[in-house]
Chain A
């Protein structure tokens, strides 16, 4: 196999300029006419350029959603694209899926592409589950025969056997997303582009989806995966690409990229942190001592985090953090607020957090520790590895499950 054959995606100086006016939605002809009368020259230039979408040259009206992004992805790599909202992740996927065209630059993709920017695209509420499976399959680029072959598996995966002939507008939102994800899960292109679609359904289904995604990456397909869920990125991807303000700022092994990204978010000096190694949540358990990752809202939780440091760390404080699958911070316990400031000598250490009652709704969460070292002028920070936590209990809506006492007169 030559070097060329190893490349699945090559991107060179890819850039996308948006006119801010384009975000403002559509215009009526009257508005355009008034525009034309007010600024005839600008209007003319814009009309001329519109075909190439370069927009007008006035920088205050434009924004580079993506600027000079270059990278190569090898066949079979699973790549996580990481970045804040508006950093250009989705724009990149949209260009690679040919939904929108780049303003400058070049990309080539070797192999059949399937993109999944949203689950249930093309679903029609009036059509039945069966009809929507065919329609959605076709929209995602599957052949009819292909859908037919996988039909039973799709239905079984979605767990909607009984509702196949029901219009999807009568589905519960859970059933809807399950069906939508299931069709997508059986899409089998050589290169799969996925944008933040795993945060759907209840905990059990989310776990199934993650498992399915894991299968996809294991079968040697090339996957580009956008998510805010770092735990998912960490477990699914080998390589991470960090985008910041439309520019590629880091590409490397996924652990490094996530580390870089979190660092980027906090603009931190990394000197001491490099001396802290192996920050790892070793165990989490429920009260009876079972070592399962499945919890009920009532369960108590004990989490142990071990790490090694080469230096003496003084005036440390720790955070214990639980985020939901959409990246919302749900539990944020700060030892500094409890006035706990330990000192760690060089060597191995273990930190334990006990939560008497978890109080989370059903869902998949990620849990980790953050260690801060206050060295006088700057505070430095290190994150432990994230681990997944699954809670299952009654579906009640809301983010947390807090005991409430009722009374009446």
Chain B
């Protein structure tokens, strides 16, 4: 079945080709067989990203850093948004960082299939690899921008502790959420290019609908679960702040977020698989 699978001549593998019918689950074995290609797609995106730029990987720092500076200026100095007694630059950067990763992953994965349309039409591989590599490649930027976070923490005398490792589960949740939405959007984008215009707009809206520039306590206690359902990034960002700055641990808002992330991820995977067969004809 798998192209990559090593085969000896006596026990040849058999590929069966039939018209697709109904809902098809994800073929994890096939994905595993193609892991090297996923690596190469991701590697390519990382390599190519800052080619022919003067600042190169510095862009990974410049973007979140300037967002943080502008937010500190407007929301803290001018609008006096409270930040749970944490220096506002640190408070906002701790959320800008995961938010940038999310926004970048979403942009890249939703455009992934369209961008490599030629590949879709000429070679077979599990199409899932493309949106997934779009989610993974911004992790490099994230890691670079993370260094600035450590710098800020040292500057404000918030010394990193073992608590920091708690960002890992939240990072995973975030990647799963981005993958879920990325699967939906990339598959829709193949047929409807509106997605290309909608995504930057949705990301801007999302930034202000998420607790990036303000604390989650801005939302009244009784609406918290609803908030977590509508905006699953809320629970994740709270988790990041908690792990980095030891703020209030995420509550049932997080449970709501996790539930909705699973729904988006699973439905996205099925939707993607259903559309997949027609990608090469439609894109």
A111 touches B124 (CB 8 A): no
Flag if B15 contacts A138 (CB, 8 Å): no
| Docked pose: A117 CA to B124 CA in angstroms | 11
CB B189 to nearest CB in A, in angstroms, measures: 9
B172 contacts A by Cβ under 8 Å = no
| A135 and B43 alpha carbons, distance in the complex (Å) | 9
Of A79-87, A100-108, A262-270, the segment with at least 4 beta carbons within 8 Å of chain B is A100-108
B193 contacts chain A at the CB level, 8 A cutoff? yes
- A106 to B48, Cβ gap below 8 A? no
Question: Judging by beta carbons under 8 Å apart, are B13 and A100 in contact?
Answer: no
| A143 close to B48 (CB less than 8 A) | no
Q: Tell me the complex Cα distance, A53–B277, Å.
A: 9
**From residue 8 to 55 of chain A, which have CB atoms closer than 8 A to chain B?**
18, 22, 26-30, 32, 50-53
Whole-angstrom distance between the alpha carbons of A32 and B9 in the complex?
Answer: 50
Q: Which residues of A contact B39 (CB under 8 A)?
A: 138
Q: Let me know if B118 and A121 touch, CB within 8 A.
A: yes
Q: Are B282 and A106 in contact (CB under 8 A)?
A: no
Q: Which residue from chain B places its CB closest to the CB of A101 in the assembled complex?
A: B277
* In contact, B118 and A102 (Cβ under 8 angstroms): no
| A144: Cβ under 8 A from any B Cβ | yes
Please state if B124 and A106 are interface contacts (CB–CB under 8 Å): no
Q: In this complex, which of B44, B190, B278, B280 has the most chain A Cβ atoms within 10 angstroms of its Cβ?
A: B44
Give Cα distance in the complex from A108 to B13, angstroms: 10
Whether the pair B12, A100 counts as a contact (CB closer than 8 A) is no
Contact B14 A109 (CB under 8 A): yes
Tell me the number of A-to-B contacts counted with CB atoms below 8 Å: 141
Asked if B15 contacts A53 (CB within 8 A), the reply is: no
Question: Closest approach, in angstroms, between the C-beta of B120 and any C-beta of chain A?
Answer: 7
Interface string of A117-142 (1 = CB under 8 A from B): 11001101011000100110011110
Among B12, B43, B48, B194, the residue within 8 A (CB) of A111 is: B12
> A26 is contacted by which of B120, B280, B282 (Cβ under 8 Å)?
B282
B119 at the interface (CB under 8 A from A): yes
Q: Which chain A positions have C-beta within 8 A of B280?
A: 94, 99-100
A108 & B48 in contact (Cβ 8 Å cutoff)? no
Contact B190 A138 (CB under 8 A): no
A52-B20, A94-B280, A101-B17 as given contacts; A111 in contact with B191, CB under 8 Å = no
Inter-subunit contact A109/B15 (CB<8 Å):
yes
Q: Known: A53-B277, A106-B17. Contact between A124 and B44, CB under 8 A?
A: yes
A112 within 8 A of B: yes
Please tell me if B26 contacts chain A, counting CB pairs below 8 Å: no
Structural contact, B120 and A51, CB atoms closer than 8 A: no
Q: Is A277 in the interface zone, CB < 8 Å from B?
A: no
Give complex CA distance A306, B125 in Å: 51
Interface readout for B1-23 with A: 1 if CB under 8 Å, 0 if not? 00111010100111111111110
Distance, CA A96 to CA B205, complexed state (A): 44
**Contact at B17–A28, with CB atoms within 8 Å?**
no
Chain A residue contacts of B194, Cβ below 8 A: 28-30
- 13 CB contacts below 8 A, A to B, read A26-B193, A26-B283, A27-B191, A51-B21, A53-B19, A98-B124, A100-B278, A101-B278, A105-B18, A107-B17, A112-B3, A112-B13, A122-B123
Beyond A101-B17, A135-B43, A141-B4, 12 additional contacts (C-beta under 8 Å) are A26-B190, A53-B278, A98-B124, A104-B19, A106-B16, A115-B124, A117-B122, A118-B118, A131-B44, A138-B36, A139-B125, A141-B125
